[in-house]
Every structure is written in C-alpha cells, then in structure tokens.
Homo-oligomer: A and B are copies of this chain.
Amino acid sequence: MKNAILASTSTLHGQSYLEYLLPEVKKHFGDAGEVIFIPYARPGGISHDEYTRLVRDTFQPVGIQIKGLHEYKDPVEAIKGASGIFTGGGNTFLLVEKLYRNKVMSVLKETLLAGIPYLGTSAGTNIAGLSMQTTNDMPIIYPPSFHTLGLVPFNINPHYLDPDTNSTHKGETRETRIKEFHTLNTQPVVGLREGSWLEVRADKISLKGPLPARIFKVDEVPFELEPNGSLTHLN
C-alpha cells in the first residue's frame, strides 16, 4: 500500500521553494495532520533547525503542520508513529549516513511500505530507489552502506540533465555516468528531469509533471517515457 510522491527537485528556476508542487502536496498529505520532516541532507550545510523552518513556513499556508525529525528524542519511535513523512534534498551521502546512524533506515522502509504518505525531493527521492548509487552528490561523508529504501524496484537519478551538445568540458555527461553504473549494476535507472515526479500508489508507479523521463536499462538503448506513462513494470 505504498503512497509516495518522489520529485526530482524541490524548486524550479524562478519559483519559490516547492511552489510548483504545493497543490499536489496538499492533496497528498491532506488528512495527515502533522508531517515529520527529515532535514538530514542539509543542503549547502544549513542546520536542521533552519531547514525545518523553511519547510514549516512553506507548508503552513496549506494547513500542514511540520515537525523536524531531529526535534524528537527518539527518531525511530517518531517514524513509527508518523502520519506523513517528507525527506528534503541536499547531500545524499549525509542523508544516508544519518539515516543509518540513527537507525531510521529500516523503520522508515517499514513505515512507507505500510502506506504512510511520503514526499521526497532530490536526495529524499533518490533514497526511495534500490540504492543511492545514482546520486549526483559529492561523497562528503562515508555511509555504512549505499543500500536505500527500495520503495520502487529501480534506481532514480534526480535533477536529470541532458548532455550539453555545445560543451567543451571533458567531465562525464550524466548519461555516461549512468552507463558506467550499468557496467557493475543491473537495476534500471530513471532519469527524472526537474519538474517531474513519480507518483507511487499501492503497486502502481506513474510519471507526473510536464516532461518525459529518460529510462536506462542495462545493455539497452536509453528511451524516453512520456508524462503519465507507467513505470509499474520497470525492474
């Protein structure tokens, strides 16, 4: 009975935080009352308090109350009792390290599999995949494992970026990086462009937002999935 929104990014160019997604989020968390925010990914190194304040101020106008997971004495018990959970973006290595260190990873998985509404953006979306190994982030801390929630049977690459055909830079394109991932790993990868999100309802997974997603399967030519397309059988 999964029930999740997994967004590529929290913020679109020229918009405020979560602006484009807020109507969707309001419906999603409608009856949840209070939502627990997981601020562990700390974008740009901001504190848990600062990050939670941003989210609280964003959700307040649509009637959703926010409490930061770091404000609970026992994060495991907090997750067990949650009626809605949002994990924000930032650094995926830091997020995963902290989820493991606080013993939250497995209870978070159980809670989400039980159907508690979940919202992820960026790093918070990446961890819904089988592993965090298609993150774009720097390994600023060493997590005890790269395995993540497996809420969907594939990996996600948030902020998916098409190759810049005018670039003279020799660093790898995103597509090359995902190809390298597939020399050692077999799960499909969903390249989720900014403005797109995955909607997970029970066993159905759909692509939402105005843009197609780019799908990478091992030993196959990547292809585009159109908006509202199904990812239910991608594994």
Taking Cβ atoms with an 8 Å cutoff, the residues of A that contact B are: 9-14, 42-45, 90-91, 93-94, 132-142, 145-146, 159, 161, 168-172, 176-185, 194
Contacts and interface: CB of A to CB of B under 8 A. Distances in A.
A139 B139 CA distance: 8
A150 to B, nearest CB: 16
**This chain's copy number in the assembly:** 2
Candidate in A11, A136, A169, A183 with the most chain B CB atoms within 10 angstroms: A183
A122 B145 CA distance: 25
Name the prevailing secondary structure of the A interface residues: loop
B134 A142 contact: no
Contact of A181 (B140, B159, B179, B184): B140
A133 B137 contact: no
CB-based closest 9 A-B pairs:
A45-B183, A13-B168, A159-B171, A138-B177, A140-B181, A9-B170, A133-B139, A142-B146, A91-B180
Contacts of A159: 169-171
* Residue among A9, A132, A140, A172 facing the most chain B CB atoms (10 A cut-off): A140
A7 to B, nearest CB: 11
A159 B138 CA distance: 14
Contacts of A44: 176, 179-180
